[in-house]
């Protein structure tokens, strides 16, 4: 399957030019939008109500934090509080301009986004049954108000409850104000990592496009986030030329002028308008535009136009909304160190809520008295929500693990998601077996991917060089020819975006398999791996499902030295929320990779560079291997050797050498590191009385130390000798052959340690 074009040496003298990026082009007002039918009277009232809800909500949080408002005498407010007072027009103008079922991602300053998304989602419900289902368990319908009014009160109640860490909160108190999510409303989560949701939003938009969901993603980010590396990775990803249609994502920068205390213009950037960055990513400047973020009608206009572009395949869109936060970065910041009174007063003079109040009166939507009445009613709603939240249930400490993992898989999907034969470019074919039914480990990887991609069209494969080239180790060779570039495509050298997009895509229904070429490179991804992929399910109250597989390799022994040879599996095993698998044989890698793709949890799937060329017996018939079950590869009576990945093969060689000396080794391959099959390991050690753990990672801090600790806890009374660990030296992998050979546990070193352990 040839590429789209040849890259030829053309050096003709010319210039690179850019089209202008428009600033503040909206010259209408509420009246003109009402007349044109772009905003209805009811929608204008809803915008006013929602902006007031956000303002009063945030002011109430500030009052509680300062102790000026105590819903109960013994109440004490804890938790972070990053308020968006002054920024209400951006949140409401933007969310009111997209469809109720579109997605958003949010920031640590995201209470307003969450309130707005739920508010307009509820307004978009078309039946009483949907509203009744929403309020069920949280309120009883009242004859004094409509179902919609009750539902809005429940929404405000649950939002405040999450800030106060209550079980009735949207995330059951696991996330709090900086990590609130509302999945039934398409709110994919707020993010306390600056810029953390950039790639996730792109992944969700990519999945919406590929799965034909018809939804766009509105990605709220702050001005400070635009200076983070993931911002540029996400922009580039969304603008890739290889995507036939534009990714339907709107990046909406809420430029409130300060990234904590760093001033965007004149201090920490070299541009006046952050929208200018769009010129660096495609020929249409990412359709970038600068807008007045203090005017909800102007924001509505810009986002509505951006949404139309995205729905017509012309995304992505980059919008910069110029706004202002009246308060500090957090409530411990009084702003006096870096802002002047004159600056604050100038922005407060164009207050967004004053603006919308005047607009609805001036254009005949409401009278002054009606506006005052609605303000008073909304203020009471927030007081009622706060009181309800304070009295809500504290989470039960005995359920602290609830929501960490999900126990579902896609095993039983039947033919619902099967790839139609007409979409296969070639007939899938199995690797030819040798006379013993064996194939290479890397061929087993490719077969697992092939079978699962045929079985489930939601499975896509991407990473650096996985398409035409077949991956650095040939493990994905042939898949492009079967499934085409829609399902198998090269990613930019952008590891954080590879993992982040996988997280976002999996949250909205895709089942991505993303490759990080070497585990050394996973250090480039650690925010997206550790703070997004691993945490989102638990942090968002167990509601998110992230069936993403991140394939990567460990290794050494090829002279690749310190940045292509490490065994860093212990790093990912320390992050709760990830499953970690490290198979050693061709049979296991195929069966476990298939199980990993079907599992509804995020999985780090570790392949070894040396295992790729090892042969093993692999049937063509369908099979999977349960995740979390160790394998007793060799039975013995004198010592238990626990080894995984390539070290299993060396341990087996050592066992054969020692068998000739009368030492009988039992070899246990955990196969899965998280969850670890402690029972099988402990049963073996209890029989033999001795344990030796072999691994290629450096000794200090290795996963073998955890295995040793669990053996000690389970088998203390049965141990006849101290547990030993055979591991690499505490150095980065060296390049020189004699140093590398010394660093990687050899058959001889393993055998010598076993001899000493059994007293021979």
Active centre residues (catalytic): 564
**CA separation for the pair 543, 416 (Å, rounded):** 23
Q: What radius of gyration do the chain's Cα atoms show? A: 29
Please give the Cα distance from 498 to 196 (Å, whole number).
13
CA 418 to chain centre: 26
d(CA 444, CA 448): 6
**Which element (helix H / strand E) includes 252?**
strand 249-255
Please give the Cα distance from 388 to 126 (Å, whole number): 27
Nearest-CA neighbor of 159 among 210, 126, 121, 203? 121
State the Cα–Cα distance between residues 666 and 651, nearest whole angstrom: 10
Residue 580 DSSP one-character state: E
Q: In the beta sheet, which residues pair with residue 512?
A: 460
Q: What secondary structure, in 3-state letters, does 487-550 show? A: CEEECCCCHHHHHHHHHHHHHCCCEEEEEECCHHHHHHHHHHHHHHHCCHHHHCCCCCCCCCEE
Picking from 366, 389, 386, the residue whose alpha carbon sits closest to that of residue 378 is: 386
Is 757:727 a contact under the CB 8 Å cutoff? no
Residue 55: closest CA among 325, 392, 349, 388: 325
Cα–Cα distance list, 740 to 326, 474, 558, 704, 736 (Å): 58, 24, 9, 20, 6
CB 560 within 8 A of CB 733: yes
Which tokens is 682 given?
């402990």
- CA-based max dimension of the chain: 97
**DSSP line for 66-116:** HTS--SSTT----S-----TT-HHHHHHHHTTS-TTSEEE--TT-HHHHHH
Q: What is d(CA 692, CA 708) in angstroms, rounded to the nearest whole number?
A: 8
> How many angstroms separate the CA atoms of 435 and 617, rounded?
10
Q: DSSP assignment of 648-671, as one string?
A: HHHHHHHHHHHHTTT--EEEEE--
**E strand map for 117-204:** none
User: What Cα–Cα distance (Å) separates residue 213 from each residue in 101, 103, 130, 291, 695?
Assistant: 10, 11, 20, 29, 45
544: Cβ contacts below 8 Å, ≥ 6 apart: 181, 183, 188, 189, 507, 536, 537
Write the CB contacts of 616 (distance below 8 Å, at least 6 apart in sequence): 438, 439, 441, 444, 585, 586, 587
CA atoms of 309 and 312, how far apart (whole Å) = 5
CA distances from 546 to 89, 203, 205, 536, 600 (A): 32, 12, 15, 8, 6
Distances (CA, A) of 59 to 52, 164, 175, 180, 348: 10, 15, 21, 18, 15
Look up tokens 């392949």; give the residue: 607
- Per this entry, what is the length of the chain? 760
- Whether the CB-CB separation of 573 and 697 falls below 8 Å is answered with no
């Amino acid at each position: 399957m040839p590429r789209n074009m040849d890259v030829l040496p053309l050096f003709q003298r010319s210039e690179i030019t850019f089209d202008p990026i428009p600033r503040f082009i909206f010259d209408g007002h509420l009246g003109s939008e009402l007349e044109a039918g772009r905003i209805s009277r009811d929608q204008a009232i809803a915008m006013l109500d929602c902006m007031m809800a956000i303002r009063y909500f945030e002011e109430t949080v500030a009052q509680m934090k300062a102790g000026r408002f105590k819903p109960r005498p013994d109440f004490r407010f804890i938790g972070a509080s990053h308020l968006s007072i002054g920024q209400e027009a951006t949140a409401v103008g933007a969310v009111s301009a997209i469809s109720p079922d579109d997605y958003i991602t949010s920031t640590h300053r995201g209470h307003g986004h969450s309130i707005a998304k739920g508010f307009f989602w509820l307004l978009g419900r078309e039946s009483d049954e949907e509203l009744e289902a929403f309020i069920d368990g949280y309120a009883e319908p009242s004859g004094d108000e409509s179902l919609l009014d009750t539902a809005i009160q429940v929404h405000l109640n649950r939002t405040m409850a999450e800030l106060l860490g209550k079980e009735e909160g949207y995330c059951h108190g696991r996330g709090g104000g900086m990590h609130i999510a509302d999945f039934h409303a398409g709110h994919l989560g707020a993010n306390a990592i600056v810029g953390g949701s950039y790639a996730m939003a792109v992944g969700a938009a990519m999945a919406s496009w590929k799965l034909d969901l018809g939804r766009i993603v509105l990605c709220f980010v702050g001005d400070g986030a635009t200076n983070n590396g993931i911002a540029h990775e996400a922009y580039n990803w969304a603008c890739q030329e290889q995507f036939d249609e534009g990714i339907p994502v709107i990046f909406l920068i809420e430029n409130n002028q300060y990234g904590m205390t760093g001033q965007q213009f004149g201090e920490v950037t070299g541009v006046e308008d952050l929208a200018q960055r769009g010129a660096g990513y495609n020929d249409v400047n990412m359709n970038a535009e600068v807008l007045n973020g203090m005017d909800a009608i102007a924001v509505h206009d810009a986002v509505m136009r951006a949404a139309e572009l995205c729905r017509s395949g012309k995304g992505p869109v980059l919008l910069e909304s110029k706004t202002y936060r009246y308060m500090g970065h957090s409530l411990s910041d009084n702003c006096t160190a870096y802002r002047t009174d004159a600056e604050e007063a100038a922005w407060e003079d164009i207050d967004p809520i004053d603006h919308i109040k005047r607009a609805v009166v001036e254009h005949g939507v409401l009278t002054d008295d009606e506006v005052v009445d609605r303000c008073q009613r909304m203020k009471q709603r927030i007081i009622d929500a706060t009181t309800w939240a304070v009295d809500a249930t504290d989470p039960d400490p005995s359920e602290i693990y609830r929501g960490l993992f999900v126990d579902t898989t896609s095993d039983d999907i039947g033919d619902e998601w099967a790839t139609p034969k007409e979409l296969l470019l070639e007939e899938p074919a199995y690797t030819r077996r040798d006379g013993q039914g064996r194939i290479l480990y890397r061929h087993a990887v490719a077969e697992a991917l092939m079978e699962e991609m045929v079985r489930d069209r939601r499975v896509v494969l991407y990473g650096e060089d996985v398409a035409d080239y077949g991956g650095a180790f040939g493990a994905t060779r042939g898949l492009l020819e079967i499934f085409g570039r829609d399902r198998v495509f090269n990613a930019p050298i952008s590891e954080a975006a590879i993992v982040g997009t996988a997280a976002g895509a999996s949250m909205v229904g895709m089942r991505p398999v993303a490759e990080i070429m070497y585990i050394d490179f996973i250090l480039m991804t650690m925010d997206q791996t550790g703070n997004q992929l691993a945490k989102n399910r638990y942090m968002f109250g167990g509601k998110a499902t992230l069936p993403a597989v991140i394939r990567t390799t460990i290794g050494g022994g090829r002279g690749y030295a310190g940045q292509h040879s490490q065994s860093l599996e212990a790093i990912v095993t320390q992050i709760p929320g990830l499953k970690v698998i490290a198979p050693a044989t061709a049979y296991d890698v195929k069966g476990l990779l298939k199980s990993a793709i079907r599992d509804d949890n995020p999985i780090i799937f570790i392949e070894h560079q040396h295992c790729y060329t090892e042969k093993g017996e692999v049937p063509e018939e369908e099979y999977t291997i349960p995740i979390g079950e160790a394998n007793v590869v060799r039975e013995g009576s004198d010592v238990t050797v626990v080894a995984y990945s390539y070290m299993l093969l060396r341990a087996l060689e050592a066992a054969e050498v020692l068998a000739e000396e009368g030492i009988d080794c039992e070899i246990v391959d955990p196969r899965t590191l998280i969850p670890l099959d402690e029972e099988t390991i402990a049963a073996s050690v209890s029989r033999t009385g001795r344990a030796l753990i072999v691994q290629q990672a450096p000794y200090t801090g290795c996963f073998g130390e955890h295995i040793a600790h669990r053996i000690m806890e389970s088998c203390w009374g049965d141990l006849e000798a101290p547990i030993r660990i055979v591991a690499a030296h505490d150095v980065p992998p060296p390049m020189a052959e004699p140093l590398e050979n010394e660093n990687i546990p050899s058959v001889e070193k393993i055998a010598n340690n076993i001899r000493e352990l059994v007293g021979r």
